[in-house]
Amino acid sequence: MESSPAKAESPPESRHKDVGEILFTAEQIRARVDELGKQISLEYAGKRPVLVGVLKGVLPFLADLMRQITLDAEIGLMAVHRPHGYGHPDVKITRDVQLEIEGRHVIVVEDIVDMGQTLNKILEHLRGKKPASLEVCTLLDKPARRVVEVPVKYVGFQVPDKFVIGYGLDYRERFRNLPYIGTMKSEPEL
């Protein structure tokens, strides 16, 4: 006798004890990433874009996004460090993209655009490599905290001026593995 697989149902979002409010469920994130992938595929039809992910919070988003893009895209990674801590304008690039991007269509993929300082530094650096085009795709945009205006073409969700965690976003390297995006119960010390 053959057995058929049970119908898979999504388990309810179990809230971590340090999470205050769940802003976006795993299902909402999945649906929005799918939409972004379709939009990028449409707008870059006939091109071979380079997706440049900024480590390390971007990993879940980048992995899900690249699977939704139906083009022959290449993936590059960068890493940055703020030696003087969060909010300080000094940003150092600690890992440069390893691909040749001159003359290529580049999309910087970010987990969150907050103050804009980090993204501004990344864009300045990449412009120096003379790409054919340079756009930004971010899962989360927090315009209320913007200090430096940066162009963001593709936005997953706008978030309030609260500290958010989950789906790659962390607090002291914790909570990246949560399948949803939420706020912390109490504002963390930065």
75-125 pLDDT per residue, tens: 999 999 876 566 666 888 999 999 999 999 999 999 999 999 999 999 999
pLDDT of residue 181: 97
Spatial distance between the Cα atoms of 155 and 168, rounded to a whole number of angstroms: 16
Flag whether the pTM goes above 0.75. Answer: yes
Q: Which domains does the chain have, with CATH numbers?
A: 22-172 (3.40.50.2020)
Closest CA to 151 of 90, 107, 103, 111: 107
Residues that are catalytic: 114
Predicted confidence (pLDDT) at residue 8 exceeds the cutoff of 60: no
Task: Write the Ramachandran bin of 112: left for phi over 0, alpha for psi from -120 to 50, otherwise beta.
Answer: beta
Closest CA to 93 of 127, 63, 121, 52: 121
Predicted confidence (pLDDT) at residue 13 exceeds the cutoff of 80: no
